[in-house]
Amino acid sequence: MFLTFITTFVVFMKTTTDGATTEFPPWSERTYTTTNSSQTDCPFFGAIENGYVRIIDDAANKVAVIKCNEGYDLDGAPNVYCIDGKWEELPRPQCSKRCYPPPYIKNGSLEIEGEKDEKGLFHKGTLATYSCGDGFNLMPKESKYRVCEKGIWTGAYAICESVQKITNCPAPKDITNGYFVHEKTGEFDGYRVGQRLHYSCKSGYVLVGTPVQQCLEDGTWSPKIPPVCSLAIAGRFLL
């Protein structure tokens, strides 16, 4: 004997040994009992959204076989057994919708780890990994990974933002009683990354601090604080 349940309608049929079929009354009008007297019957299993359940009842056991509709993946056990009048205490199976292809990213690349069906839909758990080309940063950072879950891609939408490269440092300030010279490489076009400043003091003053500053890639000078020129008196200097 078998019973078949689907989400849109339910048909209960019993096939006899002579090949004839008998339609069962609705659930509200009858009490279901198993033909196997060696076990206590389980209650109605219930419908599965976007799928269907087939009840197989034989002399050995009673089992609910769960299948999903086309375009859906089963999340959970495909078979649930009736034990001592109760269905197994398992997480109730669900049918999860598959995902359409994830969006591609401009100025970047997309790598997909997972399988897709004949219609190009990706199965639950498929991983999409985003990255950006040279000169671009992935934003936001948490958008690097997205996973197919219940028909949607989890995580934030990824974009590749252009990196604004800094090529100059701000003009340094003059130091009191001193001066600096910069390394000239042709016509002066600003204080470019890598350029260095060399500090010196006027006569009668002593340089205190690092005599050289260099323009870094982040657009700052290193060290950040320039040296100072202190008045030298009888072998000492005053700050």
Q: So what's the pLDDT on residue 237?
A: 56
Residue 116 carries which DSSP code? B
Does the global pTM surpass 0.85?
no
**pLDDT tops 70 at residue 142:** yes
Q: So what's the pLDDT on residue 41?
A: 79
Sign of CA dihedral 205, 206, 210, 211: positive
- Give every CB contact of residue 237 below 8 A, 6+ residues apart in sequence: 205, 206, 208, 230, 231
Structure confidence at residue 10 as a pLDDT band (50, 70, 90): very low
pLDDT in tens, 171-225: 898 999 999 998 766 667 788 888 999 999 999 899 999 999 999 988 899 999 9
Contact in structure between 51 and 72 (CB atoms under 8 Å):
yes
Cβ count within 10 A of residue 63: 20
Q: Give the integer Cα–Cα distance in Å for 45 and 86.
A: 10
Contact in structure between 31 and 41 (CB atoms under 8 Å):
no
Closest CA to 213 of 167, 169, 177: 169
Least confident of 110-119, 181-190, 205-214, 226-235: 181-190
Q: Give the integer Cα–Cα distance in Å for 107 and 132.
A: 6
Q: Give the integer Cα–Cα distance in Å for 137 and 107.
A: 10
Find the DSSP H helices in 37-132.
Answer: none
Q: So what's the pLDDT on residue 9?
A: 35
**Which two three-digit tokens encode residue 193?**
């990354």
**Beta bridge partner(s), residue 191:** 169
pLDDT in tens, 11-46: 333 333 444 433 434 433 333 333 443 446 788 888
Residue type, 202: K
Q: So what's the pLDDT on residue 106?
A: 93
Place of tokens 């008998």: 22
